[in-house]
């Protein structure tokens, strides 16, 4: 599987409209008439008429609703056909010289890719596997992954993340590590003029919470606590919790983190016996773009 960062080329593909992918065909206006005098194009395509005669010419069309300026020898005129149908073109300055333009409807999308994630939530630094399938069973189809990330200010930033090629069954796989809550979609260009986008898949991210036992003195235990994500946590709070006999987590102490890089120490009193201890960071402390995070559970016997 190829996985790499895509820059302007990928962005241009994702933003391209059918009009941006349209073609322009040429017709010469000669002394004998229009060359060619019949042409077929797609909706959104254009035709450029060039006066190749030695006298002035003027292509016009009533059912296409256009009239060019008078074209001197060597001058051109371009018209874009935005609807399908058959259009008659004539020369306003020369009798009995006509041509037809047949405009075909834009091809309809054959369907959209599917997309799903192997898990709805990851801990910061962890990866998620995104899989999907194209509506056609064809190998080598280019599929591009797009990510909309929630920033620390609450805005959303969209970027192109990676590109893979489909397998013979039309399946594709991406592996990526979201840094905050991210909504993923994939884009696939079904035809030269039609692109389709998958259903959105949102993956939430919890901060990575670290816990450690520093020392035990009698019934007092000193723990180390740390929280890590793409935003700093100095001054934010976490809670040392113990699971009671009913299976409920009870907070023993609120701890204000002193640093985003160095673990903060805190001492709590624990009853005799075996205790299950963890550290919780509530969503309100985790920050915008993150859900509540918990550490692993450690067992303490006193």
pLDDT 10s digits, 209-239? 999 999 999 999 999 999 999 999 999 999 9
For the chain, where do the domains classified as CATH 2.60.40.420 start and end? 19-104
Contact predicate 181/293, CB 8 Å: no
**DSSP state for residue 205 in the 8-state scheme:** E
Does an H or E element contain 283, and which?
helix 283-286
CATH 2.60.40.2470 fits 8-16+109-205, yes or no: yes
For the chain, where do the domains classified as CATH 2.60.40.2470 start and end? 8-16+109-205
Q: What is the topology classification, in CATH, of domain 207-301?
A: Immunoglobulin-like (2.60.40)
Q: In this model, does residue 77 exceed pLDDT 60?
A: yes
Residues with Cβ within 8 Å of residue 116, at least 6 apart in sequence: 130, 131, 132, 201
- Token look-up 């990575």 returns 208
- Token look-up 């986008």 returns 197
The model's pLDDT over 33-65, given as tens digits with 9 standing for 90+, comes to 999 999 999 988 999 999 999 999 999 999 899
Does an H or E element contain 160, and which?
strand 156-165
Q: Could you give the CA distance from residue 212 to residue 206 in angstroms, rounded to a whole number?
A: 19
- Token look-up 């005669």 returns 53
Q: Could you give the CA distance from residue 114 to residue 239 in angstroms, rounded to a whole number?
A: 40
For the chain, where do the domains classified as CATH 2.60.40.10 start and end? 207-301
pLDDT for the residue 190:
67
Contact predicate 256/266, CB 8 Å: no
Least confident of 6-15, 108-117, 138-147: 6-15
107: confidence class by pLDDT, cuts 50, 70, 90: low
Q: Do the bridges between strand 156-165 and strand 142-150 make them parallel or antiparallel, or are there none, so unpaired?
A: antiparallel
The model's pLDDT over 242-299, given as tens digits with 9 standing for 90+, comes to 999 999 999 999 999 999 889 999 999 999 999 999 999 999 999 999 999 999 999 9
Is the model more confident about 16 or about 178? 178
- Measured from the Cβ of residue 115, the count of other Cβ atoms closer than 10 Å reads 21
pTM flag (> 0.85): no
Question: How far apart, in Å, are the Cα atoms of 263 and each of 220, 224, 256?
Answer: 19, 6, 11
- Measured from the Cβ of residue 172, the count of other Cβ atoms closer than 10 Å reads 26
**What does pLDDT average to over the chain?**
90
Percent residues over pLDDT 90 in the chain = 81
In CATH, what class is 19-104? mainly beta
Helix ranges, the chain (H): 8-15, 283-286
84: confidence class by pLDDT, cuts 50, 70, 90: confident
Does an H or E element contain 286, and which?
helix 283-286
């Amino acid at each position: 599987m190829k996985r790499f960062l895509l820059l302007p080329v990928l962005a241009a593909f994702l933003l391209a409209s059918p009009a941006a992918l349209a073609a322009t065909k040429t017709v010469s206006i000669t002394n004998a008439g229009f060359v060619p005098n019949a042409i077929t194009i797609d909706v959104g395509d254009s035709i450029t008429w060039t006066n190749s005669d030695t006298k002035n010419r003027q292509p016009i069309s009533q059912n296409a609703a256009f009239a060019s300026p008078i074209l001197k020898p060597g001058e051109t005129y371009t018209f874009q056909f935005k609807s399908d149908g058959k259009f008659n073109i004539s020369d306003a300055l020369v009798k009995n010289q006509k041509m037809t333009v047949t405009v075909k409807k834009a091809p309809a999308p054959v369907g959209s890719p599917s997309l799903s994630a192997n898990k709805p939530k990851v801990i910061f630094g962890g990866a998620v596997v995104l899989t999907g399938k194209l509506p056609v069973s064809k190998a080598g189809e280019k599929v591009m992954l797009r990510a909309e990330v929630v920033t620390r200010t609450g805005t959303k930033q969209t970027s192109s993340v990676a590109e893979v090629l489909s397998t013979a069954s039309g399946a594709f796989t991406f592996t990526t590590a979201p840094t905050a809550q991210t909504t993923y979609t994939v884009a696939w260009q079904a035809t030269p003029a039609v692109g389709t986008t998958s259903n959105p898949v949102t993956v939430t991210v919890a901060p990575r919470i670290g816990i450690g036992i520093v020392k035990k003195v009698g019934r007092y235990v000193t723990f180390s606590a740390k929280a890590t994500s793409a935003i700093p946590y100095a001054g934010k709070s976490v809670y040392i919790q113990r699971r009671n006999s009913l299976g409920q987590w009870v907070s023993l102490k609120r701890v204000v983190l002193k640093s985003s890089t160095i673990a903060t120490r805190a001492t709590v009193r624990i009853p005799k016996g075996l205790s299950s201890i963890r550290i919780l960071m509530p969503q309100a402390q985790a920050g915008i773009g993150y859900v509540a995070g918990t550490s692993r559970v450690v067992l303490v016997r006193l």
